[in-house]
Chain A
Amino acid sequence: MADPAVIANLDFDTVKDDLVTHFKSRPEFSDYEFTGSSLNLLMDILSYNTHYYSLASNFLLNESFLDSALLRKNVVSKAKSLNYVPRSISASSTTVTVTFTKQSSSDNLVIIPAGTAFISAVGNVSLTFYTKQDYVLQFDSLTAVGATKSIDVQIFEGSWSTQRYVGDKNYTDFASYELPKNNIDTSTLTVAVNGTRYQKILPEDETLFEAKSNTRCYFVEENRNGGYNIIFGNGIVGKPIQANDEILVSCLSTSGEVGNGVSKFSVSLAGRADATVTSVSGPSTGGSAKETIQSIKDNAPKWFQAQYRAVTVNDYEAFLKKKFADIQSISVYGGEDVGFPGKVFICIKPKSADKLSNATKEIIKKEVIKESNVVTVRPEIVDPKIFKLRLDSVVVYDKTRLDSSREILKTKVSNLFDYVNKNYVGTFMSSFRESNLSYEIKNLDQSIISSNTRVKMSTDVTSTNFYLDTYEYQFNNKLYHPSDGFLSNKGGILYSTLFYREGQTVQSGFDEDGYGNIRLYDYIDNNKVYVNTKAGRINYETGQVDFLYEFRPRDSVFTLIVIPDSVDIIATQDMILEIDSANSSVEAVEIDETDILKNINLSRTF
């Protein structure tokens, strides 16, 4: 008797085929392969049975391990055994300055209560931001009527709600109450029992070990429905809930990342018509969806490994990703690598902006890192250096194999830049490799024979009140410099967009002389009139550009462009490369257009 040869198949048809193969070796019955036969019916039943059990076993095993589980409730459950509570949705926040006018001589105190609404809108969606705490502004009794005074107020996007529960019995085990909404920012939870505030305990909190039988505390867990449960003590760890205890839970339900990027607000405070929002510290940031399944899978083991302490660079990354949601990419490196021992540098590219606001940096340093990092190590949060790549691609194609038109082909290549932005660059230390781009272009269409891409690097030079924010720009890549004086008459390998200087009616710009000097010029009647031929230095080997001359730009931003030596651009620890699609170009040349091909300089264009 031959055994069923294959036992690894899952599909009904293949399982049945295996059975048929088996029965062919049996002499007793010969009708196994006819649809109406009894034996066929029996094999159908056997196949269904095998099929269902195989799938059930497969699902069961997959869902039993953190790496292979697909259902969120199972991933969360597995992460729980690693003491990891997935991050909830988080509310976007910002700080606004509210200004009041003294109405009368007795108008000395203004209170902005917790829950005060600040109205805004993104597109067609109306958003409301709220204060989390009371703010008090006091006018000096000697201040004249009509004088103004301002106060900074931190506001969070979402809507406050309070849920009331009543204890139904004297609990001796952990009483659990499910919160009604799934989009709750658990960091905003406040829980009070019979009017007494309870303290939240997270797995990483050492206070867990200090919790006694009468400690007023609660725990938060994500439940199997994706919502949250509030869990109270059992009389051994934490005070238990008694019959008729009144439990009030307040929390913020938020829209997450929808609330990011808002910078205009209005406030309406009862009895204070003079309240106006005079300034906003920056666009709202920090809003993020709840932690994804993949993120839980990635972070839970690291989090367990780090044991709630930030010691190695991986610990910092795991710690910050867990605690702070608005992170697109993060790079952490020790100060010993960059000449500052005793420091750890944290570079964060948020999802909602190019860099973190100063207020957010302080929150991260004081509230997130301080409680876990080594005492002698000082964390330093630095802004990511974002360099944009301007690509000039020439694609050679064969028109006999082209299904569409030349223009559609060019559009396809242009759209590919966005793909490369998301998949090859756009995060820390993700270098740009021209060969990767060529590979993607080649696979784009069967008609493409070859491609060639030239690269320029650019960065924005920003200034405040006529002074540059920084006078050093480190491109971290060798710049193109075949010989001294190279292209001196055309402006070398550095140029800038035009900008206005203080007191000038003509625009100015920069270029270089091929000997390492950056030249400042005024652009008059399409001619460069040099103002300072040693306005800065450029180091071709290291890619460092220094401005030495105070040229007082009136425009708050202009762009500096350089031509690197290689078409591959290296991104270092605090560098993020992004392809500047708007300033990149694509040219498609047909293989038979030999005249054009001969005249195109496929290596460099100046």
Chain B
Amino acid sequence: MVQHTFENKNVYKDFDLSFSRNPLTNDIGKKTDANAINQSMKMLLSTSFYERPFRPQVGSNLRRILFEPADPITIQDLRASIESLILNYEPRVQILDIKINDNAENNAYDLTIEYSLVNLVQTQTFKTTLRRLR
């Protein structure tokens, strides 16, 4: 009888941008699969157009949208920008749903992105809060 061994191999690997230290190996902390993707999406969302030298097209105009009146049109604008950003610069992700809730008490939007990774079947969730700083 043939015995199959399935190795739980990480598909995506990245280092932790907080530069934390792994206490066992003393190496830089790593992030894998959904954690790596979440970190990547967070970085993309916080990048504005023209922020990266020589690559002006990378990023979005979320910061500008956050200063617009909090109404359904702005939310739609926000959703379109996020969708376009991920489609263009995060090819590892297939978006299932983007939920944006107006958190008026805190002058913020609660963002939830449900997605699946291209090579993995589980549904993943990315949550963050978008708030203007001033």
Contacts and interface: CB of A to CB of B under 8 A. Distances in A.
Interface of A: 12-13, 28-31, 34-39, 41, 44, 47-48, 51
A411 to B, nearest CB: 45
Interface in B24-48: 31, 36, 39-41, 43-44
A30 B40 CA distance: 13
Interface stretch (B74-82, B85-93, B96-104): B85-93
Nearest to A15: B54
A120 to B, nearest CB: 55
Nearest to A11: B54
The 8 closest A-B pairs by CB, nearest first: A36-B40, A35-B89, A36-B44, A31-B14, A12-B54, A38-B17, A30-B13, A36-B43
Given A13-B54, A34-B90, A29 B15 contact: yes
Contacts of A39: 14-15
Contacts of A35: 44, 58, 89-90
A103 B126 CA distance: 105
A37 B14 contact: yes
Contact of B89 (A12, A30, A36): A36
Contact of B12 (A30, A44, A51): A30
B16 to A, nearest CB: 7
A35 B51 CA distance: 13
A36 B90 contact: yes
A31 B54 contact: no
B52 interface: yes
Most buried by B among A28, A36, A39, A48: A36
A29 B54 contact: no
Contacts, number: 52
Q: How large is the interface on B (under 10, 10 to 19, 20 to 34, 35 or more residues)?
A: 20 to 34
A48 B54 CA distance: 9
A36 B16 CA distance: 13
B91 A34 contact: yes
A15 to B, nearest CB: 10
B54 A37 contact: no
B53 interface: yes
8 contacts: A30-B12, A34-B90, A34-B92, A38-B14, A41-B17, A41-B43, A47-B54, A48-B54
Nearest to B90: A36
Interface in B1-21: 11-17
Given A29-B14, A31-B36, A51-B54, 5 more contacts: A28-B13, A30-B11, A35-B89, A36-B89, A41-B43
A51 B12 CA distance: 29
A28 to B, nearest CB: 7
A41 B51 CA distance: 12
Contacts of B92: 34
Nearest to A33: B91
Contacts of B53: 12, 48
A44 B39 CA distance: 17
A283 to B, nearest CB: 55
Contacts of B134: none
Nearest to B39: A38
A36 B44 CA distance: 5
B44 to A, nearest CB: 4
Contacts of A51: 54
A12 B58 CA distance: 15
B41 A36 contact: yes
B64 interface: no
Contacts of B13: 28-31
Nearest to A30: B13
Nearest to B58: A35
A38 B14 CA distance: 7
A31 B10 CA distance: 12
B108 to A, nearest CB: 22
Nearest to A36: B40
Nearest to A35: B89
A75 B91 CA distance: 52
A44 B52 contact: yes
A26 B90 CA distance: 22
Contacts of B54: 12-13, 47-48, 51
A37 B52 contact: no
Nearest to A47: B54
A12 B11 CA distance: 29
Nearest to B85: A36
A48 B16 CA distance: 21
